[in-house]
Amino acid sequence: MEVEDLTLDELRLALAPGIAEAAVFDGWSADALDMAADQLGADRDVARLAYKNEGAMGMICAWIETIDRQMALDLPADKLAEMKIRERIHSLVQYRLDAVAGLEESLRRALAIMAMPQNAPRALRVGWRSADVMWRLAGDTATDYNHYTKRAILASIYGATLTVFAQDESPDKADTGAFLDRRIEGVMKFERTKAKWLNPERESFSMSRFLGRLRYPAR
């Protein structure tokens, strides 16, 4: 499809990777948008229209959305199904790290913008969406409170790992890899412990039985 045939929504996403590359030097700015438009062969005025009233946060969110979409194409659920759950989560987070490799300066600037009080609510929504995409690709079908706790935990892990990644100058980002492994191991331990407590076949703690014993103690 030719650039001029793209809808504004399609153009917005098509421009996002180029904006991220330009943001290394120009920040998440109108200059970066213009450079991305030139690189894509799009009219600058139309490109600005695609990001009308979006600002830097809109550019960042579009970049993240393109990574979400490409991740779903490159790591479909059926491909991940062959792995253990730990490997699925690790592969998904690592994919996202690889997607921003070489753009650490853009990432650092993006994280700073997302941390601004006025942007925090939207940043949380975007982080939740990415975590949801990852869990769905990993095969999660939970609809109870686990649905929410899993996504909150993964969003937290991913966000913290991104922060480490952006500052990591170790060979092959070894420090980031070790950090991610520790965080995932912590989650796995938590899930195993939770599974034991929620296993219906074990003798579980009963609050009603406990209160009953307080009221009517055994003689």
pLDDT in tens, 128-179: 999 999 999 999 988 888 899 889 999 999 999 999 999 999 999 999 999 9
Angstrom distances, CA of residue 177 to CA of 13, 15, 91, 149: 29, 30, 11, 23
Whole-number pLDDT of residue 203: 47
Q: Which CATH number fits domain 56-219: 1.10.575, 3.30.70, 3.30.479, 1.10.357?
A: 1.10.357
Which pLDDT tens digit goes with each residue over 51-102?
A: 999 999 999 999 999 999 999 999 999 999 999 989 999 999 999 999 999 9
Token pair recorded at residue 141: 């079908």
Residue ranges of the domains in the chain?
Answer: 1-53, 56-219
Angstrom distances, CA of residue 102 to CA of 20, 39, 91: 11, 18, 19
Confidence of residue 1 (pLDDT cuts 50, 70, 90): confident
CA distance 128 to 29: 25
Whole-number pLDDT of residue 144: 84
- State pTM to two decimals: 0.85
Mention every residue, 6+ apart, whose C-beta is less than 8 A from residue 200. Answer: none
